[in-house]
Structure 1
Amino acid sequence: MGLGKQLPCCIMVTPCTTSPVSPAVQAGRRDNDQNLRAPVKKSRRPRLRRKQPLQPLNPGPLPGDSGVCDLFESPSSGSEGSDSPAAARSCSPLLGPAQHLVQLDLQTFRDYGQSCYAFRRARESHFHPREPLARQPQVTAESRCKLLSWLIPVHRQFGLSFESLCLTVNTLDRFLTTTPVAADCFQLLGVTSLLIACKQVEVHPPRVKQLLALCCGAFSRQQLCNLECIVLHKLHFSLGAPTISFFLEHFTHARVEAGQVEVSEALEAQTLARGVAELSLADYAFTNYAPSQLAICCLALADRMLHLQHPVDLCLVGHPEEALQDCLGKLQLLVAINGTSLTHMLPIQICEKCSLPPSLK
């Protein structure tokens, strides 16, 4: 009988379940199984998430931008209404007459006040533009007054600080000393200077679309951003100018720290002096005076109008007495001419204390 093909056989090996295993061996097997087991991620407690984002306590202005992202946005048909001046007023708090007076931080003034004042006082002449319209064939003192008379309500409409307004005027005048500006581009230079100033001190600067809407669509985003680059280049990115706002705050802290006036009286005088300074910013005759000189003269005039017993000393800043008296006389004439406008800038309680004619209150 011959050998045929061998059939494959399947061999199954089954473990023996009848052999006894000692407890020690079972414990060792469990330990080995635990060591060979992959690590298991511990379960975490579910994280609680808010269904709605946090809302601010007080409604503030819309977040600002740098102007670069707007170059890549296509305007939609529904965006015109949100960028109108009326919409800008609705999203920004107005600085009305009932604005609360800012409290003084005397401890910070004791630590850094004199050093900050000495530093800014030494750099004041470097940032002070003298005769900004000397090289301007088309921009006149009248057109500058019209532009700033328009920018002052705009800065109040957006709820911006007085420091932003002072930096805006400084940026505008310094650029005018370097480059001739066409008359039809002067308003664009004004809003560009405002945007540059707000980026330095404001938490939420106005959006480019809002500023262009105030110009009634006369300029494009590209024009504004291009002019912004030109202004920054001409000024060599040197923007931290000492302003009237800084010196007013310094003199107010200094007189309170010295015990010359009460805190409430000092704050009222500072508010009134700020209103007088706003009027002087639009008048070309005051461009020859340094910010510290204007600040001390505005504060001295405010003391006179409020009938304070201890007015501020004009010799505090070290300017010549003749120049200080000349500046103070021009400020008195400015207030006499623009008394009605001044009353709209001030709280009612301060207007009632001022020595203005009854017809202007």
Structure 2
Amino acid sequence: MVTPCPASPAAWSERRHHEPNLRAPVKKSRRPRLRRKEPLRPLSPRLLPGDSGVCDVFESPGSGSDGEDSPGAGAAARSCSPPPNPGQLLAPLDLQTFRDYGPSCYAFRKAQESRFHPLESLARQPQVTAESRCKLLSWLIPVHRQFGLSFESLCLTVNTLDRFLTTTPVAADCFQLLGVTALLIACKQVEVHPPRVKQLLALCCGAFSRQQLCNLECIVLHKLHFSLGAPTISFFLEHFTQERVQAGQVEASEALEAQILARGVAELSLADYAFTSYVPSLLAICCLALADRMLQVPCPVDLRLGEHPEGVLEDCLHKLQLLVAINSASLSHILPLRIFEKCSLSPSLK
């Protein structure tokens, strides 16, 4: 039986005299009781994408297998569907947003274009040549497509790569590491689910460590002063497409098909060092004009939209025609079949 505690001090003193072993009640602190909860888990069953070791803490036990290190496995973990083709990456045209923000955004990007444009990126490179740059980008372009990344990510990757080459000599055996590092930096800016570090390292067949990639990433960011928001061909292609549709020069469906074909031509130009002398807006308008010719669009794009001299436009357009004629087989693998079948090469393109 539990005896209630006496209310008065006198009663408590009398009880303590008869029961010497009795102790005064001690008021316990009201601390919250910590209960062990379940470990943190992702909200979805797929792996958490990330670019640092943080995501590895939350991975499933089987995620460290060799199969998960491949880019195909990483893409499958993010989505059960195959990587989208270029046609699926184009969102419907939002002309109202373009009318509100398009001109001011274009003016801002156009003013920054020369600042982010690398000139003669291989001039200070004793070991990196135009041929090795072409080989690296010809390898990175299918990698970016395998991961299901956007065209904007690819353009930013090439821009980051070339701008770093203008500042620092790179050894030939580190050039591939620089390529995947530039891809990681670009994906961090654009992609919702960028590739993980160990997936990128797996592409290099284990030739580099995580620490080497992270160290090079810090060096690249330091050399570029964290100025990464470069205007790209992707932005200008989208702007010129919306502008011509807004002006009523072409139907939206025809403009989107021309934009897809122009992206394919622009992909070919990114790997060719000869096109690094042209700014993105110039390449974009010329790729779009060439796409209109190949698709035989009744009302082709006005080359004056890019605000470039006529001589420079003709020179760039002529080189793009030659590039397409030489790489027509590669273009057939880049484009969706329905668009490639509509393309017709004029005698001047052969």
Partner of 2:66: 80
> Per-residue CA shift, 1:265-294, capped at 9, x if unaligned?
000000000000000000000000000000
Cα deviation for residue 71 of structure 1 reads 9.4
Q: What amino acid maps onto 1:290 in structure 2?
A: V
Q: What amino acid maps onto 2:48 in structure 1?
A: P
The answer to whether the aligner puts 1:223 opposite 2:218 as a matched pair is no
Structure 1 distance, partners of 2:148, 2:226, is: 25
Q: Equivalent of 2:198, from 192, 200, 209?
A: 209
Cα deviation for residue 88 of structure 1 reads 2.9
Partner of 1:266: 255
Structure 2 distance, partners of 1:179, 1:72, is: 35
TM-score (norm 2): 0.81
Structure 1 distance, partners of 2:58, 2:216, is: 19
Cα deviation for residue 315 of structure 1 reads 1.3
- Checking the alignment, whether the CA contact within 8 Å between 2:51 and 2:195 is kept in structure 1 is no
Partner of 2:31: none
The answer to whether the aligner puts 1:180 opposite 2:169 as a matched pair is yes
Q: What amino acid maps onto 1:273 in structure 2?
A: A
Structure 2 distance, partners of 1:199, 1:242, is: 16
Alignment map for 1:24-35 (pairs within 5 Å): none
CA 1:88/1:65 → structure 2, altered by over 3 Å: closer, same or farther? Answer: closer
Q: What amino acid maps onto 1:291 in structure 2?
A: P
> Per-residue CA shift, 1:8-67, capped at 9, x if unaligned?
xxxxxxxxxxxxxxxxxxxxxxxxxxxxxxxxxxxxxxxxxxxx99769xxxx8533232
CA 1:273/1:107 → structure 2, altered by over 3 Å: closer, same or farther? Answer: same
Structure 2 distance, partners of 1:343, 1:62, is: 34
Q: Equivalent of 2:330, from 330, 341, 344?
A: 341
Partner of 1:39: none
- Checking the alignment, whether the CA contact within 8 Å between 1:106 and 1:257 is kept in structure 2 is yes
- Checking the alignment, whether the CA contact within 8 Å between 2:87 and 2:260 is kept in structure 1 is no
CA 1:187/1:338 → structure 2, altered by over 3 Å: closer, same or farther? Answer: same
- Checking the alignment, whether the CA contact within 8 Å between 2:156 and 2:232 is kept in structure 1 is yes
5+ residue gaps, structure 2: 1-40
Partner of 1:65: 50
Structure 2 distance, partners of 1:89, 1:236, is: 31
Alignment map for 1:183-198 (pairs within 5 Å): 183-198=172-187
Partner of 2:153: 164
Alignment map for 1:89-238 (pairs within 5 Å): 89-91=75-77, 93-96=82-85, 99=88, 101-238=90-227
Partner of 2:275: 286
CA 1:77/1:353 → structure 2, altered by over 3 Å: closer, same or farther? Answer: closer
**Cα RMSD for the two superposed structures:** 2.4
- Checking the alignment, whether the CA contact within 8 Å between 1:95 and 1:157 is kept in structure 2 is no
The answer to whether the aligner puts 1:318 opposite 2:307 as a matched pair is yes
- Checking the alignment, whether the CA contact within 8 Å between 1:139 and 1:181 is kept in structure 2 is yes
- Checking the alignment, whether the CA contact within 8 Å between 1:130 and 1:288 is kept in structure 2 is yes
> Per-residue CA shift, 1:160-200, capped at 9, x if unaligned?
00000000000000000000000000000000000000000
Count how many residue pairs are aligned between Structure 1 and Structure 2.
302
Structure 2 distance, partners of 1:231, 1:88, is: 25
Cα deviation for residue 91 of structure 1 reads 3.0
Structure 1 distance, partners of 2:49, 2:282, is: 33
Partner of 2:341: 352
- Percent identity of equivalent pairs: 78
Partner of 2:319: 330
Cα deviation for residue 96 of structure 1 reads 3.4
Q: Rg larger in 1 or in 2?
A: 1
> Per-residue CA shift, 1:320-341, capped at 9, x if unaligned?
1101100000000000000011
5+ residue gaps, structure 1: 1-51
